[in-house]
Amino acid sequence: MSMAEKKGSRKLVWLIAALLVMTTSLAAANVYLLMDKNGGDKLAAKVVQTARSPIYVKVAPFTVNLRDDLCGRHLLYAGISLQVGDSTTEDFLNDFMPQVRSRLLLLTSGQKAEEMMTPEGKEALIEKILALFEEELVSGQPTLRVDDVLFTEFIVQ
């Protein structure tokens, strides 16, 4: 190896070391800036929050007659899981599942079969189900955090 090549490789090593120090310093500064005044670490809380498994409340499958403007009769067989934001909502929904099922049965039985067969109809039904949880099921209930409605079974016949 020539003298010039040795100087070039040393410069490269120093350049990599300097970049490593700068990157580490920037990361440390970001972590420091994300910490709140009380010493709690928002970054750690955010990592824990995103790493947490989602909470699902399963609603047993049900069958309802659908409205039909045509002469035929149609049924909807649906299984639903509700994705909730906290354990308070999970506990409440499990404790008051008869009220939840009753509201779901009333809502779904008022739907038209033709609409339930389209993706847009299913999306509209999800929005209506989410709206159900904005109203009180029973007086004095906590604020419910129902984030999503997932169909686990869905047959229109």
| pTM for this entry | 0.64
Q: Measure the N-to-C terminal CA separation of the chain; round to a whole number of Å.
A: 80
Q: Is the pLDDT of residue 47 over 60?
A: no
Q: Residue 67, SS3?
A: strand
Q: Residue 41, SS3?
A: strand
Query: Do 156 and 113 form a contact (C-beta atoms < 8 A)?
Result: yes
pLDDT for the residue 44: 55
pLDDT for the residue 14: 77
Name which of 29-33, 75-79, 87-91 the model is least confident about.
29-33
State CA 113 to chain mean position distance. 28
Helix axes 119-132, 97-109, angle to 10 degrees: 140
pLDDT in tens, 133-145: 999 988 889 999 9
Q: What is the mean pLDDT of residues 22-40?
A: 62
Q: How far apart are CA 155 and CA 37, in angstroms?
A: 54
